Structure 1
Amino acid sequence: MARIRTIKPEFFTSLTIADLTPEQRLTFIGLWTHCDDEGRCVDDARLIKAAVWPLDDRTAADVEADLRALTESSLITRYTLNRKPYMTVNGWREHQRINRPTPSKLPAPDQADSTPEPPLTSKDEDSPSAHAQLSEDSRPERNREQGKEQGTGNRDSSSGPAPAAPDPAPERDDVERLCTHLADRIAANGSKRPTITKAWRTAARLMLDKDGRTEEQVHGAIDWCQNSEFWRSNVLSMSKLRDKYDTLRLQAARPATGSNVVPIGAASGAARPSTTDQRVAAGMDLAARLRAEEAAQ
C-alpha cells in the first residue's frame, strides 16, 4: 500500500544522491512510499518493481541493480532472518515524521541472522545526508560476490577460500576485450587479477547494447578510472563501472584545475551544451587518449 511521505530539499544537492543514476534515485524515493511506517519492507525486487515501476518498461533485474547501488551508497540496509530477506531505509526516523505510525510487522535489522561487515565502498563524508545516516550493513551475499570479482571479501576460515568459477561460455569478442582490459588494469594497479565472471560479461554487454556505449568509450572510462580517486575508494568491477559510468564521464570532463564546473563555452554568448553533448565530448577525449596510448605501444 502506497503511503504519503516527505522529501527534503537537501536531497537534490546531496553528493551521495548525485552519484546515483536518475533511475536509482527514483527507486530510492519509491521505496519510501513502499516501506512501512518504520522504513522496512520485504527485500524482493519483483515486489518493488510492481510498486514503484508498475507502468514502465523496467524489469525486476533492473530494480535489483538499483537496490545494489543503494546498498553500496549506504542508503538502505539489506538483511535476512530465518532465510527471509528484508530491507530498511537508513536514517528513516530522522527524515520521516509520521503521525501515529503503525508498528512494523517485519523484523528490525538488529534481529538479523548475522551482522554483515562494513561496506567495501566509501561515500563522501562532507555530503549532506538525504535519508542516509547509518553506515551500510551489506548483505553477505553481495560481499561474497564482490570478493569473487576483486579477490577479497568474506571467507569462512573453516572452509577455506572459494574462488569464483570462470564463465565457460564467452559471449562476444567485444565483451571479452572489455572484461580482459578491466581485469588487466586491476592487476596492474597492484591488486590480485580478478576472475572474469558471467556478471562481468553481462554488465559489459548491457553497457554496449542497452546503455548505448561504444567499446572505445568503455575502454577510455576504464583507463581514466585507473588514475582517479574513484579507483582508490571503490572495489571496481564491471557492474560497478556500469553503475557509475555517467558520474565518471562527467568527472572526466571537468577541467584539470579541479573545478566542479564544466565549461559552457569560451564566448559569453555561447550556447550551453546539453548533458549529452558533454558526455559525447568526454567520450571523444577519452577515445583520443586511448588511441594515442595504443599508437605509442
Structure 2
Amino acid sequence: MARIRTIKPEFFTSLTIADLTPEQRLTFIGLWTHVDDEGRCVDDARLIKAAVWPLDDRTAADVEGDLRALTESSLIARYTLTRKSYITVTGWSEHQRINRPTKSKYPAPDQGESAPAPVPTCGDDDSLNTHTQLSEDSPQERNREQGKEQGTGNRESSSVPAPRTPDPASDRDDVERLCQHLADRVEGNGSKRPAITKAWRTAARLLLDKDGRTEEQAHGCIDWCQDSDFWRSNVLSMPKLREKYDTLRLQATRPAPGSNVVPIGAAAGRPSTTDQRVAEGMTLAARLRAQEAAQ
C-alpha cells in the first residue's frame, strides 16, 4: 500500500545519492512509499517493481540491480529470517517522522540472520540525511493504539501495562436506574434476570445523551414493551432497546384493534408538549361531534 512520505532538499546534493543512477535514485525514493511505517518490506524485486515502476518497461531484474546498488551504498539493508527475505531502509526512524505509526508485521533487522551494513560516513555528512527528516519541531509521537492485537512478526512484550479506559457510564445514577429497570422487566416477564454489563451501560448512556431521549421516555418505552407482544418473541436488552427505540415507539402509537384513538404521551413512552396539545385537540373534536349528534 502506497504511503505519503516527505523528502528533504538535501537529498539532491548528497554525494551518496549522486553516485547512483537516476533509476536507482527513483527506486530508492519509491521504496519510502512502499515500506511500512517502520521502514520494512518483503525483499522481492517483483513486488517492488509493481509498486514503484508499474507503468514502465523496466523489469524485475532491473529493479534487483537497483536494490544491489542501494545495498552497496548502505542506503538499505537486506536480511533473512526463517528463509524469508526482508528489506529495511537504513536509519529510517531517524529520518522519517511518522504520525501514529502502525507497528510493522515484519521482523526487525537485528532479528534476522544478517545485520544491516553501517551507514557510510567517509566525510559525506549529507549521506546520513538522504531521506526526509522534518526540519521543524514536531510533537512526540503518540503511543500506539492500546489493546490492538499484535501481529505475528515482531512480538515484543511491554513491562508497563496498558492503561484501562474508564467507562463514562459506570458512575451515572440515571444510567444505572435505566439498566436496573429493564433488568427488572425482563425478569418479571419470566426470563432469567440479565447481568448489567458495560455494553448495557454504554447503550443506556448513548440513548440518553446521543439520541436525546429523556429518562422518563426510556422508562415508558420499557414499560410498554412488557405489556406488548414484543416480549413474546424477543428478550429485550439495553443495546436492542436503543437500536429499536423508534420502531417500538411507533408500535406503541398504533391504534388498538377496533379503535381510532391513538395512544400518545406517557402511554407511547415519549410524552411531549406537542403530544399533549394534539390529544387535547382530538378530545375537543370528539366532544363537538358528540354534541352535534345529540342535536
**TM-score bucket (shorter structure):** 0.3 to 0.5
Structure with larger Rg: 2
The TM-score normalised by the length of structure 1 is 0.42
User: Which structure carries more relative contact order (alpha carbon 8 Å, separation 6+)?
Assistant: 1
The TM-score normalised by the length of structure 2 is 0.42
